[in-house]
Structure 1
Amino acid sequence: MHKEIDFQFKRPEDSPGYLLGQLTQLWQRNQKKVLDPLNLTSTQFVLLAALGWLSKKSDAVTQIDIANQSNSDRMMVSKVLRTLQEKKFISRREHPTDTRAKVIQLTEAGANVLQEALAAIERSDIDFFSSLGDKLPVFNQKMAYLIKQNKEE
């Protein structure tokens, strides 16, 4: 005889974690469809977007800056940046003041693919979340709140 498993939630649809997981998988599938033709993974796009955003404010963006901006693991960021460098989407040069750090910059090809990816991803997001209508701002606020409450410093 098997032990009865006791679930706190009566149905999977009552579990916020289950719902978030399902929604994330659907959203990631959408992202993949949009990014595959651009030869980018979702992670590569996130790091390029973080670099693009940070580059608007600084000429000396580092790997640590990108990891912090994207809320990503530093070792993973290092590996993905190497791949982006191999694709000629980014370049690395010596940091002017920190000998341990490299300055990461978008190349022209990287800026072009990022601009194309941003437009495609934004269209995809608008379509994906369109059924929320005027509830989208509240949905975004609640997601931002959960990120802030659960982010490890």
Structure 2
Amino acid sequence: MTAPESRLPGPDRSPGFLLWRVTLAWQRAMRAALAPHDLTHVQFVLLTTTWWLTRSGEAPTQRQLAEQAGTDTMMTSQVVRKLAERGLLERADDPADARARRLQITAPGLELVAKALKDVEAADASFFDGVGSEFTDSLAKLSP
């Protein structure tokens, strides 16, 4: 049997392992920040991304939302449906494409985004305190 070999002295020097550990810790911080708002992290991302996209004046399609958020289109559809059931989003047929649905955030959705966004940004600021803008720049380079 051949023993495994690594170019690294241990997991604490592996960028992938460290990113995994940081991601898990950050996800815990996000769950805690979003719990008072009764939102999962993916619900928050899709709701907030809808708000960001509608600021340009046009209601995005579910596909556009999925592309911007980096989420699977089928999962996006399921989560959007749940958000619509809660009255946070409205889904309407796209007049230009019978298969597409246009999304609009509702007044209760805007109110929830306003509250949750403050808590998420505060949790982010606390979590990443002391890291510096170079870290964000590096993440932007790695983001697809």
- Counterpart position of 2:45: 46
Higher helix share: 1
Greater relative contact order: 1 or 2 (C-alpha under 8 angstroms, separation 6 or more)? 2
Alignment of 1:1-153 (within 5 A): 3-132=2-131, 136-147=132-143, 151=144
Equivalent-residue separation in structure 2 for 1:57 and 1:98 (angstroms): 20
Q: Shift of the alpha carbon at 1:107? A: 1.1
Equivalent-residue separation in structure 1 for 2:59 and 2:124 (angstroms): 30
Checking the alignment, whether the CA contact within 8 Å between 1:60 and 1:95 is kept in structure 2 is no
CA displacement 1:116-145 (0-9 Å, x = unmatched): 11111011111111122xxx2111111101
Amino acid at match of 2:98: T
Equivalent-residue separation in structure 1 for 2:32 and 2:99 (angstroms): 38
Q: SS of 2:98's equivalent?
A: coil
Checking the alignment, whether the CA contact within 8 Å between 2:53 and 2:59 is kept in structure 1 is no
CA displacement 1:80-115 (0-9 Å, x = unmatched): 111111111111112132222111111111111111
CA displacement 1:6-45 (0-9 Å, x = unmatched): 2332111110000000000000000000101101000001
Q: Shift of the alpha carbon at 1:3? A: 4.6
CA displacement 1:44-91 (0-9 Å, x = unmatched): 011011101000013231101100110111111011111111111111
Determine what percentage of the aligned residue pairs are the same residue.
35
Equivalent-residue separation in structure 1 for 2:73 and 2:108 (angstroms): 24
Post-superposition, which runs of at least 4 consecutive aligned residues in structure 1 deviate over 6 A? Answer: none
RMSD: 1.2
Equivalent-residue separation in structure 1 for 2:76 and 2:93 (angstroms): 18
- What is the total number of aligned residue pairs between the two structures? 144
